[in-house]
Chain A
Amino acid sequence: MGFGPMMSSLLRSKTGPLLVSLQIAVTLAIVINSLFIVLQRVEKINRNTGMDVDNVIIAYVRGFGEGFDVVNSIRNDIDLLNSIPGVIAVSVTNQVPLSGSGSGSGLRAVPDETIDAAPAGRYTWSDKGLDALGVELTRGRNFYAEEIEYILPEGTSPPQDSILITQALADELFPDDDALGKTVYWGSMEPSIIVGIIGHMHGSWVGWDKLSNVVIQPGIYAYTTNKFMIRVEAGMRDELMPIIEQQLGESNRQRVVKSVRSLEELADRSYRRDRGMAIILGIVITLLVGLTALVIVGLSSFHVTQRTKQIGTRRALGAKKRDIIKQFVLENWIITTAGAVLGALLTVVVAYWLETSFSLPRLDWNYLPIGIVSLWLLSTLAVIEPARRAASVPPAVATRSV
């Protein structure tokens, strides 16, 4: 029951429904593939960094002029920063994690140049470094204060005895063994001993697949350009940033405060491309779904007006309101299902194209049934109101001439 008139009316105007099916198919292909990309980017942006990103401030300063005393300047700066109420810990670093700017090195478990080294982001900071970033040491020990020396650009590098590494790097260096206490070798074959293991932290380049490989050496880079990591009490960051900038600026006229930024802002910049892509595709999805829904509504309403007479006749011949609604909803289901089948095919084609031409990750096939069901629900929602209107056509209309 209900199938007969529906099929006949569908067959009478084939092109319209066919076009809507086609539209649903392309919509499905775009929406599923885009949504997959969006969710992947969102996941990437929201990964755990292992740091207290929200409460860290990074200050970039640079000394200039004849006779600028770098070591003294750094000492004074650290004292000054520590004296500001709300500051928890301060350390100089050679590079800033998540900022997009960093250094990298390779480490080996055996001193053999011919084997491939495990790549890692390389940082140098003091015994306060972990605290200044809010990074958690899970095993072993932090650097001792005695291990921290000033590293001058023109001096020989100090002995690199103790290092901290992340668990990810430990697993890559010693897949079957405990890395703590082991000796590893730099490119120059100089040895270092792993004294502590950091559970997890990110390095500088957010697009790098070895982002969690990090090695930290003890020391304070005494270069004219310096980067301070400053961790502050929760919620005080925005209040303290201008204060830090002002106090650093006033305390020494031989030094330019290049910028004071929150680590959050630096990380946001690093993820800008990913965020941009997610937002643009999000807009595309919204517009697309909205447009397709509107077209379905428009088409159904149009059919209702077109078929007022037919509906009236059916009602006059005893069809209930329910039957009329059923007719329209069923009609819509046929169109949507045809679109979904074609759409599934098209989704696979687009996913294949994205994967092979742009080496994007392979589509998670779970998205396909979820997408189809959502589209199906949406199209049903879109047809309900026109169908209601159709059902309310009084039986008498059929007998009246238009």
Chain B
Amino acid sequence: MNKNPFDTFVIGARKGFQIGINNLLPNVLMAYTISEILKLLGVMEFIGKVFGPFMGIFGLPGEAITVLLTAWLSSSAGAGIAVNLYASGGISNTQATILLPAIFLMGAQLQYMGRLLGVADVPKKYWPALFVTSIVNSLIAMFILKIFA
């Protein structure tokens, strides 16, 4: 170890700032705008009705599926949609807690397909199994938190 902890902290904080500006901010801005479009078009209400029974298994309203669908493309955007839903009264504190691990367990899979499975040369034949496993992981995590949160 050759740096003092203050310098080390600053290196980490700088990484945090970069992630905040380059990743979090554009994704959350997009998520908020998409939420608005879906609300204006009435899609949110429709999704809420259609997925209500399924999401009910996990103690969530139907609209919460938008969090999962978005998280699958980008974790930041998924988190943004969740916050937006919370702010508009769509989900409660408990429901936000239930969603949090799921956002990451099935998060950003489309990106990680290239960045992880592609780079590590995991044979393509097994990719579908890995996708399904991740989604099942999320569902189990939501179920666990439904009981304990």
A binds B: no
Chain A positions near chain B (C-beta within 8 angstroms)? none
B interface with A by C-beta (< 8 Å): none
